[in-house]
Structure 1
Amino acid sequence: MKIAFFASSLVSAYWNGAATYYRGMVRALHERGHHITFYEPDAFERQQHRDMDDPPWAEVVVYGAGSEAEVLRTVERARGADLVVKASGVGVHDALLERAVLDLQGPSTLVAFWDVDAPATLDRLHGDAQDPFHALVPRYDLVLTYGGGEPVRRAYRGLGARECVPIYNALDPSTHHPVPPDPRFDGELGFLGNRLPDREARVEAFFLDAARRLPQARLLLGGSGWQDKPLPANVKYLGHVYTADHNAFNCTPRAVLNISRESMARYGFSPATRVFEAAGAAACLITDAWEGLEQFFEPGREMLVAASGEEVAAHVEALDAERARRIGRAAYERVLAEHTYAHRAAQLDALLAGRRRVPAEVAA
């Protein structure tokens, strides 16, 4: 199958939290025999902050995002693909792309909207009845999401989607795996995440509050945008942590912390990429509580769950090295058994098997 992907970036994780997800899915689909062309805009200095070369498992097309005409010419290059994917959050000309890819539909071409931030998209649509995407949702052959479970599926069906299926985040064991500890990341607790409007208050509540309660502990904060944020004296700010260092970041501290964005925690069933990256490194993960967690990992045995910064601090204080190793090892075994991108690509193949386009008027 020839698959055309229009998304933010495959080759750069700079201000691009979906990079690991795209890389894992695209590589796994390639390994199942598909040919993927990944179209990404030259925007947000991502090409200047690449953390990988063009991979052998995808053709990467970087297009100029300066004019609508150039975007439309790029879309036309995908004509004839078996599956065309418009991902959410490209960051430039999203509305144009959402319309333009639908012109590629044909008897042998399915067009899917792949929502890598369904909570944000749904909140936007529910808040604006005039959003032009309302009219487009029913025209897509399929809506895929990387999280959200039944609440998101129900919301998309309410917007007229023909079908909505979650393809959850997962692990690529070839890129995220255990490595020796790195002294740069020594500490009791590490958190990695960019500063975003619907995450910042939760970082205050779960990470910075925990840091204030653990004055003798050393905590690490990685990610872009935190440089002007007042931090407790025991928090070391690392700035952007490149993908190549994620394994060491996960493997070195006693524990690492996952903090869901507010919208994802509200919808539930939305495990962040970091959850699977940490599990793949056999890290001891502490996560904020969110509905659906038990579908992926067993709380208390495969990861620790906290409802507040106070509970995060209590977990860190009670955690010795041996227990941290046991929890990390249990998560590692679970993720390899059930939550790799090979599992997710097989799910997508099964979903697409034998599927043919149904014209909108018939589907309606």
Structure 2
Amino acid sequence: MKVVVFGLAMSSSWGNGHATLWRGLVRALARRGHHVTFFERDLPFYAANRDLHDLPGGELVIYPDWDSVADRARRAVAEADVAMVTSYCPDAPEAERLVVAAPRAARLFYDLDTPVTLAALEGPERPAYVGARGFADYDLVLSYTGGAALAALRDRLGARRVAPLYGHVDPDVHRPATPDAGEISALTYLGTYAADRQPALERLFVVPARLRPERRFTLGGAQYPADFPWTPNIFFRRHLPPAAHPAFFAAGRMTLNVTRAAMAAMGHCPSGRLFEAAACGTALLSDGWEGLDDFFVPGSEILVADTTESALAALDLSDAAVARIAQAGRARVLADHTSDRRALDFEAAVASLAVPQGEPN
């Protein structure tokens, strides 16, 4: 298939979880003979932190403004088998008009931020990537979030068909590595600062660090404010590109996942970080949310903590117990949550369009 995508950004992973997911999926689709053209507007904050300049197995089109690329985009859509707009695409209204008028392509929307999208509908303005007709003009809406989110996309935004397309990991990029120089941390956390994650991050990371002053904790990510409640034993790594993630995870005895509030409330929304860390052979500690057990078995493939006390109990497990969690989590990811598996899911979702609504597919 020829797939055309109008998305947020693939060239920079700075504060942008979409990038790593798309890179893995494009490579996996290319291995299966498909070709992806990804259109990305050249935004200053991504341009200044660009960590991808070429797209093996696909084509990355970085453009300064819509007018400069409109003709090229129109030609690409005319030749496509699948044309797609994603959440947070800077030119979503223009891209939507082009995609829904596609002469032959399957018309898709991929919401990588479904709980955020649905929560925003309660506010005074719709997200800019949601038009007046919602998602009613697309043939299929893919969602990073499953469960009740799929019904909400139909009921509240008019999606005709929906299917989950969850996070994933490319094990060629995220795999066991030698840790960076320095001692191993008791707990690491990698993620962009988000105010709605802060209460859980303090409860599960900052306070345990304060209560275990003799142990090392490491936090990595972008956009952390000056008034973040650092402790002397929390070490900070500013934004790390994907190639540096394996060494970061390797330097932790276990790593913490904290879910955005809207996503945790809706559930069935695994962070790509979970899969990345597990593929690197690091034990997972996560906040709890509905549907987590669809992706990992709590207690054997992942540790779950919602209180400081339960986080401390996880940190105090024996080395052997932590190693068993890490090994089981990695095995689960390599079996069920790779980019290659999601490429198959993508193919199946597109193929389902050939089956009339109401019939088994």
TM-score normalised per structure 2: 0.91
**Pair 1:256 & 2:255 matched:** yes
Q: Between 162-171 and 320-329, report the one with greater CA deviation.
A: 320-329
AA aligned to 1:45 is F
Other-structure match for 1:15: 15
Other-structure match for 2:350: 352
Other-structure match for 1:361: none
Question: Are the aligned partners of 2:2 and 2:34 in contact in 1 as well (CA < 8 Å)?
Answer: yes
Shift of 1:295: 0.5
Q: Between 199-208 and 248-257, report the one with greater CA deviation.
A: 199-208
Change (3 A) 1:237 1:121: same
Change (3 A) 1:86 1:355: same
Q: Within 5 Å, which residues of 2 pair with 1:99-110?
A: 99-103=97-101, 105-106=102-103, 108-110=104-106
Change (3 A) 1:327 1:257: same
Q: Percent identity?
A: 37
Aligned mates of 2:174, 2:331 — CA distance in 1 = 14
SS at match of 2:96: helix
AA aligned to 1:198 is D
152, 157, 162: which one aligns with 1:155: 152
SS at match of 1:209: helix
Other-structure match for 1:335: 333
Aligned mates of 1:288, 1:211 — CA distance in 2 = 17
SS at match of 2:26: helix
Aligned mates of 1:130, 1:235 — CA distance in 2 = 39
Other-structure match for 1:231: 230
Aligned mates of 1:85, 1:34 — CA distance in 2 = 15
Change (3 A) 1:166 1:184: farther
Question: Are the aligned partners of 2:42 and 2:64 in contact in 1 as well (CA < 8 Å)?
Answer: yes
Shift of 1:74: 4.9
Q: Within 5 Å, which residues of 2 pair with 1:111-150?
A: 111-128=107-124, 133-147=131-145, 149-150=146-147
SS at match of 2:17: coil
Shift of 1:253: 1.0
Paired positions, count: 351
**Pair 1:50 & 2:50 matched:** yes
Question: Are the aligned partners of 1:213 and 1:310 in contact in 2 as well (CA < 8 Å)?
Answer: no
Q: Between 126-135 and 270-279, report the one with greater CA deviation.
A: 126-135
Unaligned runs of 5+ in 2: 357-361
User: Deviations 1:243-264 (Å, cap 9, x if unpaired)?
Assistant: 1110011112111000001011
User: Deviations 1:107-153 (Å, cap 9, x if unpaired)?
Assistant: x2111110111011111124358776241411011100112x12110
Question: Are the aligned partners of 2:177 and 2:280 in contact in 1 as well (CA < 8 Å)?
Answer: yes
Q: Within 5 Å, which residues of 2 pair with 1:206-355?
A: 206-228=204-226, 229-316=228-315, 318-353=316-351, 355=353
Change (3 A) 1:320 1:130: closer
Q: Between 161-170 and 344-353, report the one with greater CA deviation.
A: 344-353
Q: Between 186-195 and 74-83, report the one with greater CA deviation.
A: 74-83
User: Deviations 1:327-354 (Å, cap 9, x if unpaired)?
Assistant: 1111111111111111111122122227
Aligned mates of 1:294, 1:270 — CA distance in 2 = 11
Change (3 A) 1:97 1:151: same
Question: Are the aligned partners of 1:3 and 1:36 in contact in 2 as well (CA < 8 Å)?
Answer: yes
Change (3 A) 1:71 1:200: farther
Aligned mates of 1:129, 1:192 — CA distance in 2 = 31
AA aligned to 1:225 is Q
Question: Are the aligned partners of 2:136 and 2:159 in contact in 1 as well (CA < 8 Å)?
Answer: yes
Question: Are the aligned partners of 2:134 and 2:159 in contact in 1 as well (CA < 8 Å)?
Answer: no
Change (3 A) 1:110 1:230: same
Aligned mates of 1:357, 1:37 — CA distance in 2 = 26
Shift of 1:70: 3.0
SS at match of 1:45: helix
Other-structure match for 1:182: 180
Shift of 1:75: 3.2
Other-structure match for 1:362: none
Shift of 1:209: 2.2
SS at match of 1:133: coil
TM-score normalised per structure 1: 0.90
Aligned mates of 1:155, 1:139 — CA distance in 2 = 16
Other-structure match for 1:6: 6
